[in-house]
Amino acid sequence: MQAFLKSGKLDNSDKSVPSSSKTSKKSKAVPWVEKYRPRTVSDVVEQSEAVSVLQQCISGADLPNLLFYGPPGTGKTSTILAAARQLFGDYYRDRILELNASDERGIQVIRDKVKTFAQLTASGTRPDGKPCPPFKIVILDEADSMTHAAQAALRRTMEKESRSTRFCLICNYVSRIIEPLTSRCTKFRFKPLNEAMILERLSFICGKENVECSDKTLAALVETSGGDMRRAITSLQSCAKLKGSGVPISIDDVLEVTGVVPERWLKKFLDVCKTKDQNKLQAFLKEMMFEAYAASQILEQLNQYIVNFEGFTDQQKAIIGQKLGVVSFKLQDGGSEFIQLLDLGCSIIRAFCNV
Amino acid sequence: MLWADKYRPKELSSLSYHKQQALDLRNLTKDGDFPHLLVYGPLGAGKKTRIMCLLRELYGPGVDRLKVETMNFTTPSNKKLEISTVGSNYHIEVNPSDVGINDRVVIMDVIKNVAQSQQLNANTQREFKVILLTDVDNLTKDAQHALRRTMEKYIANCRIILCTTSISRVIPAIRSRCLCIRVPAPSIDDITSILTNVAAKESVSLPPELAKRIAEKSDRNLRRALLMCEACKVQKQGLVASQSVSEPDWQIFIRNIASKIVKEQSIATLAKIRENLYELIIFGIPSEIIFNTLLEEMLKNCDLELGRQIVEQAALYEHRMAQGNKEIFHLEAFVAKCMCLYQNMMQELMACEF
Amino acid sequence: MDEFPNSDDEFELMYGDDLEVLHEQGDVQRTPRKSRRSLEFTQTPVSHNDNSFSDAFTPLEAPVPELNTNKRSIEELFGDIDDILYENRANAKRYKGDNADELALIEHIVELRKLNRERDAPEIFRKAHVQSIDRAKDNLSYTVPSYPFVGVTRVDGRRLYIRCHSEQYELEERQKIVQEINLACTLGPNDGLWAEAQDLILKQATAPDLEQCYQPGDKELWVDLYKPRKYFELLSDESTNRIMLRWLKLWDKAVFKRRPKIKPIKPAEKNKKMFKAPDLCTDLDEHGRPLHKIALLCGPPGLGKTTLAHMVARHAGYNVVEVNASDDRSCEAFKTALENATQMRSVVDQERRPNCLVFDEIDGAPPSSIDYLVKFVQGGPSGRKKQKERNVLKRPIICICNDVYVPALRPLRQIAFVVNFPPTSNTRLAERLMEIAKWQKVKTDMGAMLALAEKSQNDIRACLSVLHFFKSQDKAVTLSDVHKTSVGQKDIQKGIFSVWRDIFLIDKANGDSLKARMSGVLNVVNAFGDYEKIAQGVFENYPNLKFKNTSMVETCLALDWFGFSDIVNKSIYSTQNYNLGSYLPFACVVWHFAFGSRSWQKLQYPSAGYEARTKQNRQKAIVNELMRGMQPAIRSHVQPNSLILDILPLLTTIITPAFRQISLHLYTEEEKKSLDNVVRIMVDYNLSYVQERTADGGYDYKLDPNIDELVSFGPKKSLSYSNKQLIAKEIETAKMRRFEPVQPERSAAPMPNHLQTLKAKSVCGVEMPVSGQFFSSSMC
């Protein structure tokens, strides 16, 4: 069984148990995300539905097959790991098989690895003698990137091995999971985290790690995270690293680390478009490119900005929004940043002209 | 030595612009821990210089003792690959995109090799080695996904520094695992003052106007600016303000293509332009840069509406080019479209006049 | 119904003539088969050296074999024609006009006869032979004889005198012999046949050209018709033939229980031979078998490997059993074939020849079969324990393949005697083609045949097919004809050109409606299948069309489709989703509508794309070369991209400052400094000047690696010859200086790494900026 686990997220799960000796020796290397992962199901914030089901299970009820979906950083993986730990104690790693997108997850693996793991029987007692539910858990992280063939192969396995195995599928987009699988699982949607929750968690971590951080900065961090706890914590750690200990973190640092484009650039972008001068637009975009901001980030922020922008009619916003979508798609697909942004700029100019 | 090489800073403290960032980077090395880094910024902004300075800060001057090595790999399909690396005792630099679609194998192998070999010298202060991957934006998606897991797996004994021009091409999963360092291009003023300083050091009198002009022509690419400056100096012993600044040939070449498009719109011209485009491709100019430059040149002689149309088409064709394999098809299609639009506009103008 | 005769009548109507002919021929039908066989296989070749000599005897001894063959050859001919008659009655009428064919065969065989001297030939032969030797005493003389003579000089320089007989005498002699032989003839006296044959020869000799090239009724392919029937007719490389034969002869001990007559090749001889054929190991194992139990013949198609195998085997007295791709080659079938052929005595045919197994096209056989074969040959113990005794392979096996490096053949390769089949020599093939052309009365010349041979890459089969094709066109074959045909490039190219033509041509015959045009193009394109190639061809040809009335709008549309096909192709390759391929043909329809015209367009094979790619690779190689040789300190800061975009274009300017053309010590300080700088830069970037001979005989220095080629889009300023020479020299010394100081360093006491580095750099004489305070001070 060890062999299986080795190819799973071994290192991650390693670090998620900062138990005793290990932490003290190598505490530096542990990312805060892992360090401050919720230990118990009840630590998980907000996702009340899933939490209540899992809590029932811990108190003795049966566990259905689970399907967690929702935006990244909302605690999907943390929840199931915490549940597993509570169910099976410190030896929980023997009882779970975790596969994520970076593992080989073709149909062959589903056939061999998952099946073999599923066929192992699990006893009703833990190695330390306490009772525990007689099943194992297969966690398929990032299940939406599995091929359809692999998902289809999973179908039967899921039903056949229901006696001894529970599956937990985790994904961002439930639409990418084939229908037969979703119908076999209990679905839980993980909502983006409440900003206050993240703020609370961040300030808790700040306190623990001796990071000086004003409330305003924390608020900025939370805002840039967009409800993604992992991102917020990672950003916080990066800032702290960059600044060194004892130096307060400023808002600019946060922006820099998160790669957020300062709002003045967006404002200027629209201003330049307003002049309806193509050459100016070109020059401006070039300059922006030299600043090396990620175009996808620019688009994302621009989207927000334009939606809230007062100077446009709804129709104009619609036109621009449509273009934003197209441009964003092309960019993701490998298009050139400069040309795509230029295209967007031209559309905005046109929108201005049509006032 | 070229000025660009000769006056390259070696220490974080001696970097001449983005000083705050330099300080931050220094902080990064103070702690025993060191995250994976993703350094991004345009060409000639000094990414590599910064990385080398950082490594020097980490390991001391030993990183300057570089050697070039050739590594051999075998793909699962039994194809032999060869890639040359530059490295010191503490780090190794690989450009995995050299091997095209087999980059995944190379990355995995290199990282595994490095991760499995412990530092022999016990008194070195770091317990990890650094793997420097350049040109990450040209990595295949496959390789990037592989990298994501490998990064986590071997974090104990190696750190990865990724160097890329465009962060959009790096998948978010990698971005979120790295500390991203943005290196903007130096401003025109930065470049001008560096040029002046270098000239002073070389005891060449550089008229400020010329310095400014070079800086502007260099596309805020410091390396290019220094090279241009040196080329100017070679061309003429005493530099004068009005001197012409030599540009890279390919820019002029693309400019000529643009003017051909405007001059005559016919299939014969198209055939001629095709030859030129082939030439550019042969010379190894990245197709994206051909496209960008061509578009810029085209836009120089367009009115607003025509410009908008051309840009729209450019966005379309450029995207297609990134999708496809044969750049020439898409480049030519764009050129033809430009001709077509231009013709239309001329006809409309004629119609208006009469 | 009335107009039509009933089916029986119809048959009679159609084949009446044929039936008649058949009846006429009835009596001569049956005999030929065996005789032909025996003729073919029982004779051993006479080495060519003898020919000149035996030719000298022809006037005298020709009648004997000639007569014999004539008889037989005509029978043989009849036999052939019978086959044809049965196969295709409709053509049987033409039998009468078969002279050309007949003549060719007759002459062919006559010629063979002349060359043959037989030891184990039938009785008559021996008799005649003895006779002729007896007569030779009367008719040959080393001294000037008393009878009328013709003088001949032998190869060794000896002068011979040969008696001349009058026509009359010869006729008598001949008749005499004929009578003698007739005793042995199965058909009884047949003077008429002989006379007929004589007639035919006469006719051919007198008026070969006047006679029209009548369509011969040969339904046999020329490839089969002119298959070498003798060992020495083989066109393949002499040494290859010989070594195969020698290998086969090694089996004599095991198979025929007689000592192989092969003498080990004398070392001197071995050296003389240029051929690369592997040395044949002549040792025999305990069963008297050669060391290599299997011969593996490999080489490109159409060289005559199969023919050689058959020929050699027959020549060595084996009955050939062939297993080729058309047969079932599963492991099971393989096993039976092997066992049948090699173990069963019962399979030995009437002539009691042992079998020789020939596996043709073995590279296509499943690996398991080949494994089995290997095991079998090595005495395959595992599967067949009960038959241990008889398990030993006692028959030679010849395997034939095109590609010897197919992975499945690996085990076989190790145990087999591998004979690489060299390409047939050009001239030899051409000569043979000429012969055939002569027989077939195709007018041609050696040049054309040579060209044909070359064009088909010495593929005999291809050549013969083309010749056959020309023959059917019924005109002389000239060099230009050969060039025009599309052999050699294999037929695919012919196909693709017609596809392109169909795209560019609006064919009135197909109807003008768009629908008809569309479906026409779709059909053609779908049939061809290689859409990428079609696209490339259309792309490279459309700007050169003669009558362009295509507007820019249409061109744009068409070009969009090029982009589309490119994208689809890419995604097909990257995702292996071949379903997408069904969208590709429609691009061709668009191109047809955009570029199609009514006039005939001259199309060219698209090579620009390919050329560009090769050139691009070359450039890449130069860049790589440059990168490899760069000083590490600089290398680490240079990326190929920035090298191409920024550094190289300007570098070429920087390293060509305006030097005066005077000797070094006349340079000013300033100039010396700049020279020094140039040298350093060039060393850093691994550049140097290399002397090269130019086309006009002079010398010039070129950059190495030649980055001028890489970056210049036009003529570039370059230094004068003497300057380059100077720089080249300086670079040498600079490089030397760089490497030298490192030596003592190494022996020095071990120091911390970083200190060592610093020193090495300073000794190198390269000024490193100690630190960049300079920069920092400037910026604030």
Q: Residues of C with CB below 8 A from B283's CB?
A: 619, 644, 710-711, 713
Last residue of a domain, one of C587, C606, C625: C606
B218 and B327 both lie in a single domain: no
What are the tens digits of pLDDT across the range C289-333? 777 778 888 776 667 777 788 888 887 777 777 777 666 666 777
* Domain assignment of residue C1, yes or no: no
Query: What are the b/e assignments for A244-266, b being 16+ CB within 10 Å?
Result: eeebebbeebbbbbbbbbeeebb
A101 and A216 both lie in a single domain: no
Q: Residues of C with CB below 8 A from B274's CB?
A: 543
C355 and C261 both lie in a single domain: yes
A248 and A174 both lie in a single domain: no
pLDDT under 50: residue ranges of chain C: 1-5, 21-22, 25-97, 117-122, 124-125, 185-186, 188, 208-217, 262, 264-278, 346-348, 381-390, 488-494, 742-780
Strand partners, C150: C162
A190 CA to chain B: closest CA distance, Å?
20
Quote the tokens at residue C480.
């230009």
| Domain boundaries, position C779 | 755-780
Q: Detail the DSSP E strand segments found in C17-158.
A: 140-141, 149-153
The domain tally of chain A equals 3
A187 CA to chain B: closest CA distance, Å?
25
C374 and C461 both lie in a single domain: no
* Domain assignment of residue B243, yes or no: no
C552 CA to chain B: closest CA distance, Å?
5
* Domain assignment of residue B240, yes or no: no
B175 and B157 both lie in a single domain: yes
* Domain assignment of residue B59, yes or no: yes
Phi–psi pair at C4, nearest 5 degrees: -95, 135
> What CATH number is attached to the domain comprising B151?
3.40.50.300
Alpha helices in chain B (DSSP H): 3-6, 19-30, 47-59, 103-116, 141-153, 172-175, 188-201, 208-217, 222-235, 249-263, 267-282, 287-300, 304-323, 327-353
Last residue of a domain, one of C580, C606, C632: C606
pLDDT under 50: residue ranges of chain B: none
- Which of B70, B86, B293 to mutate to test binding with chain C, by most C CBs within 10 Å of its CB? B86
* Domain assignment of residue A26, yes or no: no
Last residue of a domain, one of A160, A189, A218: A189
Strand partners, C400: C297
| Domain boundaries, position B17 | 3-182
Phi–psi pair at C699, nearest 5 degrees: -115, 150
Strand partners, A68: A170, A188
pLDDT attached to residue C46: 42
B119 and B81 both lie in a single domain: yes
* Domain assignment of residue C221, yes or no: no
The domain tally of chain B equals 3
B167 and B302 both lie in a single domain: no
* Domain assignment of residue C312, yes or no: yes
Q: Which residue of B has its CA nearest to A334?
A: B322
C88 and C184 both lie in a single domain: yes
Q: Residues of A with CB below 8 A from B162's CB?
A: none
Last residue of a domain, one of A189, A221, A246: A189
Separation of alpha carbons A87 and B16, rounded Å: 57
> What CATH number is attached to the domain comprising A275?
1.20.272.10
C306 and C373 both lie in a single domain: yes
Which H/E stretch holds residue C690?
A: strand C688-693
Across the interface, do B234 and C632 touch by the CB < 8 Å criterion? no
* Domain assignment of residue A11, yes or no: no
Last residue of a domain, one of A141, A163, A189: A189
Q: Which residue of B has its CA nearest to C754?
A: B62
B102 and B226 both lie in a single domain: no
Separation of alpha carbons A10 and A3, rounded Å: 11
B295 CA to chain C: closest CA distance, Å?
17
* Domain assignment of residue C391, yes or no: yes
C336 and C383 both lie in a single domain: yes
Q: In the structure, what pLDDT confidence band is assigned to residue A118 with cuts at 50, 70 and 90?
A: confident
Residues 6+ apart with CB under 8 A from A309: A270, A317
What are the tens digits of pLDDT across the range A21-32? 333 333 456 778
C203 and C346 both lie in a single domain: no
A184 and A325 both lie in a single domain: no
C530 and C412 both lie in a single domain: no
Q: Residues of B with CB below 8 A from A342's CB?
A: 295, 311, 314-315
B277 CA to chain A: closest CA distance, Å?
18
C106 and C132 both lie in a single domain: yes
Q: How far is CA B52 from CA B186, B322, C370, in A?
A: 18, 32, 58
A174 and A59 both lie in a single domain: yes
* Domain assignment of residue A23, yes or no: no
* Domain assignment of residue C399, yes or no: yes
* Domain assignment of residue A17, yes or no: no
Strand A136-140, strand A96-99: pairing: parallel
Strand partners, A171: A69
* Domain assignment of residue C24, yes or no: no
C158 and C295 both lie in a single domain: no
C242 and C388 both lie in a single domain: yes
Chain A touched by B142 (CB under 8 Å): no
Smallest Cβ–Cβ distance between B89 and the set C647, C753, C776 belongs to C753
Residues 6+ apart with CB under 8 A from C457: C300, C423, C488
Q: Residues of A with CB below 8 A from B39's CB?
A: none
Q: Which residue of C has its CA nearest to B254?
A: C713
A283 and A228 both lie in a single domain: no
Alpha helices in C328-425 (DSSP H): 331-343, 367-377, 410-415
Across the interface, do A336 and B291 touch by the CB < 8 Å criterion? yes
Smallest Cβ–Cβ distance between C757 and the set B61, B201, B279 belongs to B61
B142 and B199 both lie in a single domain: no
Across the interface, do A343 and B314 touch by the CB < 8 Å criterion? yes
Across the interface, do C684 and B5 touch by the CB < 8 Å criterion? yes
A183 and A66 both lie in a single domain: yes
Quote the tokens at residue C615.
């050139």
**3-state SS string for C380-398:** CCCCCHHHCHHHCCCCCEE
**3-state SS string for chain A:** CHHHHHHCCHHHHHHCCCCCHHHHHHHHHCCHHHHCCCCCHHHCCCCHHHHHHHHHHHCCCCCCCEEEECCCCCCHHHHHHHHHHHHHHHHHHHHEEEECCCCCCCHHHHHHHHHHHHHCCCCCECCCCCECCCCEEEEECCHHHCCHHHHHHHHHHHHHCCCCEEEEEEECCHHHCCHHHHHHCEEEECCCCCHHHHHHHHHHHHHHHCCCECHHHHHHHHHHHCCCHHHHHHHHHHHHHHHCCCCCECHHHHHHHHCCCCHHHHHHHHHHHHCCCHHHHHHHHHHHHHCCCCHHHHHHHHHHHHHHCCCCCHHHHHHHHHHHHHHHHHHHCCCCHHHHHHHHHHHHHHHHHCC
> What CATH number is attached to the domain comprising A164?
3.40.50.300
Residues 6+ apart with CB under 8 A from C661: C720, C722, C723
Residue C599 CB burial class (10 angstroms; 0-12, 13-18, ≥19): exposed
A205 and A317 both lie in a single domain: no
* Domain assignment of residue B241, yes or no: no
* Domain assignment of residue C632, yes or no: no
Q: What angle do CA C183, C186, C190 make, to 5 degrees?
A: 75
Alpha helices in C183-317 (DSSP H): 191-206, 222-225, 238-249, 252-256, 267-272, 305-315
> What CATH number is attached to the domain comprising C435?
1.10.8
| Domain boundaries, position A242 | 195-258
* Domain assignment of residue A301, yes or no: yes
Chain A touched by B6 (CB under 8 Å): no
Residues in chain C, total = 780
A124 and A254 both lie in a single domain: no
SS3 category, B99: helix
A98 and A169 both lie in a single domain: yes
What are the tens digits of pLDDT across the range A289-300? 888 888 888 898
Separation of alpha carbons C108 and C440, rounded Å: 11
What are the tens digits of pLDDT across the range A127-183? 677 777 778 888 888 787 777 778 887 887 788 777 788 888 888 888 888 888 888
C283 and C328 both lie in a single domain: yes
Chains A/B: 3 or more C-beta pairs closer than 8 A?
A: yes
Last residue of a domain, one of B182, B207, B224: B182
* Domain assignment of residue C759, yes or no: yes
CB atoms within 10 A of CB C777: 11
Interface of B with A in 52-81 (CB under 8 A): none
Across the interface, do B340 and C556 touch by the CB < 8 Å criterion? yes
> What CATH number is attached to the domain comprising C378?
3.40.50.300
A229 and A298 both lie in a single domain: no
A181 and A38 both lie in a single domain: yes
Instruction: Give the global pTM.
Output: 0.62
B209 and B297 both lie in a single domain: no
* Domain assignment of residue B244, yes or no: no
Across the interface, do A333 and B33 touch by the CB < 8 Å criterion? no
> What CATH number is attached to the domain comprising B337?
1.20.272.10
Residues 6+ apart with CB under 8 A from A319: A347, A350, A351, A354
Residues 6+ apart with CB under 8 A from C767: B1, B6
Q: How many B×C Cβ pairs under 8 Å? A: 249
The distance from CA C213 to its chain's CA centroid, rounded to whole angstroms, is: 31
* ipTM entry: 0.86
- Residue among C148, C165, C182 at smallest CA distance from C58: C165
* Domain assignment of residue A335, yes or no: yes
Across the interface, do B319 and A102 touch by the CB < 8 Å criterion? no
* Domain assignment of residue A13, yes or no: no
Strand partners, C405: none
Across the interface, do B169 and A334 touch by the CB < 8 Å criterion? yes
pLDDT attached to residue C259: 60
Chain A touched by B167 (CB under 8 Å): yes
The domain tally of chain C equals 6
C403 and C551 both lie in a single domain: no
> What CATH number is attached to the domain comprising A222?
1.10.8.60
Report the pLDDT averaged over residues A190-203: 85
